[in-house]
Structure 1
Amino acid sequence: MKVTHIASAAALALLAATGAQADGHYVPGVEGMQGPSVPPAGMYYLGYLVNYSIDSLRAPGSSKVPGHNTGTVTALANRFVWVTNHKLLGADYGMEAIVPVMRTSLTFNTPGVSDSRSGVGDVYLGPLVLGWHGPQWDAVAAAGLWLDNASDSHPASPGKGFKSTMLTGGLTYYFDGAKTLSGSALARYEFNSKNDDGFRPGQQLTVEWGLGKSFGAFSAGVVGYSQWQTSDDKGPGATTDRARRHAVGAELVYPIAGAGVFLKAAAYKEFSVRNNTKGSLVRFTLVKAF
């Protein structure tokens, strides 16, 4: 599942502090167990309520930037998915759109940033979602575009200021025939365009993973994510310092079968960050089938 990058303003403020640059749109941690499994044909609403709490800024060498540098970013990403009855390359064909609403508050003493903003973030349009299903596996491939519709005029503004093309691929494998034990990995790759100042952030790879176990009415497991900047920034103010982050956490999933609803909750702690913000993330997800 995709959502706009809730730490975009923090990354921009970090630019002033350490020379780090803004990264892509996708925020890791919004997908967990069985993230690559596309649902059956139908219409779906997915609401992601995410809170990212920033506890420090990290320099290119992973050291903590001196001073009091904290912030909170809260986002509600409204995702609309339509999985059709049509087949493409042997897969179920679908499409999707995401409209995020964000609230960002930053207090970064080192770069001298104190700002709070709310608004609609950059919208994602995904005309291609492909879902394959085997006896003990699911796979996904997708492609779409992050727009630059949102404001980016202040440090805490919800927009990134540039477009991004995002490609997705992933696999869920079930270790038993009853599908009670699963392992999954989902990869996103972003190609970023230039902003109005001619600056182009480097490309970004995100990998989210999960190991889950079903316990009758609910499922629980261990989840995590890693994110790497894979190419150098280009344009005014660009450096060769690349960003990366790693986190681990836990997830709980509870279905309400009669209402066609899934409820999910997850918490992550970032344990290694370079050239970006470092903190913790809490996510609540509601999935409703129509």
Structure 2
Amino acid sequence: MKYQTLASLAALGASAVAAPALAANGHYPPGIEGLSAAAAPPAGLYYRGYLLHYDIDNFNDASGEALPGDNTGTVNALGHRLIWITDKTFLGADYGMETIIPMFDTELDLETPVGRQGFDDEGFGDIFVGPVILGWHGPQWDATFAAGHWFDTGDFDAANPASVGKGYGTIMLTLGGMWHFGAEKTWNVSALSRYEIKTEQDDTGITPGDSWLLEWGIGQRLSNGLELGLVGYDAWQLEADDGAPTTDKAERHAIGAEVGYLWPSVGVMLKGAYYHEYDAEGGALKGAESEGDALRLQFTKFL
């Protein structure tokens, strides 16, 4: 345990940390979708904006214990997403495509072996291009499959744990489903999973292990159009990092609440959610995993 703690502290202030601190060994920030996430929209062009504020309370080692000292930070992210659902079908599903352009502003205040240090970075992160979205729709259910790639476009510095880029690319596969209860579909339960396969990080020579993330939600839509529900996410690194000095694997869990409202007449949907992370474990690449609270606002406009 003492060796793991020292190794994690060293990694926080040296070259083993990937950023931003939002994702558990991956590109996809957990908790940005929430309720009804597994239902693809009807044919059309959509803009979706994500505003995410993440307060880091501490960093945990591989056993889930907080590292010594006062290690804190904040991450502010603004994600721009375009979704195009065409009028074409494939395998009985509506076909579409998407792209995500994220922006980050990250500040970290860390206790390191050489003393207290501050790290920060801001700018465009790695860009996602998804040429495949498949959406199936039944009387009481929806299902979605998607595939795409996070490109290594953001700036990455192995000596700066606040870097906006990851330093590697990622293939991301998405699969999710949603079930509506009752003829009026006022209650629903949904689950959306992301599987990530990474390439080698050039600056370190480490290839992060595959990871899997599950976002889930249980919601009710009221007669006035307001939707309320319980949301959460669970993320696991499934394979150890190739080329890393340890076989530690990252993990992260959170629960929260969401409220949303849809204005069909103007084609606008607003959603807000709060998440509390109750468990996080560090992996080999980053040395430690952040644990904190997140506030997410989501704006969707039919174009």
TM-score (ref. length: structure 2): 0.88
Query: What secondary structure sits across from 1:171 in the alignment?
Result: strand
Deviates more, 1:25-34 or 1:148-157: 148-157
- Aligned equivalents of 1:238, 1:32: Cα separation in 2: 35
Q: Distance in 2 between matches of 1:65 and 1:252?
A: 34
Write the distance in 1 (CA, Å) between the matches of 2:176 and 2:9.
Answer: 32
- Deviation, 1:110, is 3.2
- Counterpart of 2:177, as a letter, is L
Q: Measure the CA separation in 2 of the matches of 1:100 and 1:16.
A: 24
Equivalent residues in 2 for 1:211-230, closer than 5 Å: 211-216=218-223, 217-230=225-238
Q: Structure 2 CA distance, aligned partners of 1:177 and 1:15? A: 54
Residues 17 and 120 (structure 1 numbering): CA distance in 2 closer, same or farther, change over 3 Å?
A: closer
Deviation of 1:277 after TM superposition, in Å, equals: 0.6
Q: Contact 1:18–1:60 at 8 Å: present in 2 too?
A: no
More moved, 109-118 vs 174-183: 109-118
Structure 1 counterpart of 2:92, from 90, 93, 101: 90
Over aligned residue pairs, what C-alpha RMSD do you find?
Answer: 1.8
Query: What percentage of residue pairs aligned between the two structures are identical?
Result: 44
Structure 1 position 143 matched with structure 2 position 147: yes
Moved over 2 A (4+): 12-22, 110-113
Q: In the TM superposition, what is the alpha-carbon distance from 1:20 to its structure 2 partner?
A: 7.6
* Structure 1 contact 79–96 (Cα < 8 Å) conserved: yes
Structure 2 match to 1:121: 125
Alpha carbons of 1:162 and 1:19: their partners in 2 closer, same or farther (altered >3 Å)? Answer: closer
The runs of 5 or more residues in structure 1 that have no matched partner are 1-11
Say if 2:34 and 2:217, in contact at 8 Å, map to a contact too: yes
Partner in structure 2 of residue 58 of structure 1: 60
Deviations 1:68-122 (A, max 9, x none): 1000000000000000000001000000000111101110113654112110000
Measure the CA separation in 1 of the matches of 2:236 and 2:296: 21
Q: TM-score, normalised by structure 1?
A: 0.92
Give the whole-Å Cα distance in 1 for the aligned partners of 2:66 and 2:14. 10
Shift of the 260–67 alpha-carbon distance from structure 1 to 2, 3 Å rule, reads: same
Deviations 1:36-88 (A, max 9, x none): 00000000000000011100000111111010100000000000000000000
C-alpha distance after superposition, 1:180-234 (max 9, x if no partner): 0000001100001101131111111000000000112200000000000000001
Stretches of structure 2 lacking an aligned partner (at least 5 in a row)? 1-7, 19-24, 283-288
Q: 2:21 — aligned with what?
A: none
Aligned letter for 2:35?
M
The 5-angstrom pairing of residues 1-290 of structure 1 reads: 15-16=11-12, 22=18, 23-110=25-112, 112-153=116-157, 154-196=160-202, 197-216=204-223, 217-235=225-243, 237-275=244-282, 276-290=289-303
The answer to whether the 8 A contact 1:20-1:239 is kept is no
Q: Which moved further from structure 2: 208-217 or 21-30?
A: 21-30
Q: State the SS of the aligned residue for 1:259.
A: coil
Shift in CA distance, 284/268, structure 1 to aligned 2, threshold 3 Å: same
**Contact residue 46 and residue 301 of structure 2 kept, 8 A:** yes
CA deviations 1:135-174 (Å, max 9, x no partner) are 0000000000000011012322210000000000000000
Instruction: Return 255-264 or 69-78, whichever deviates more.
Output: 255-264
Q: Report the 3-state secondary structure (helix = DSSP H, G, I; strand = E; otherwise coil) of the residue aligned with 1:241.
A: coil
Number of aligned pairs? 278
Whole-angstrom CA distance in 2 between matches of 1:201 and 1:188: 16
CA distance in 1, matches of 2:16, 2:10: 6
Return closer, same or farther for 1:59/1:20 CA change in 2, 3 Å cut-off.
farther
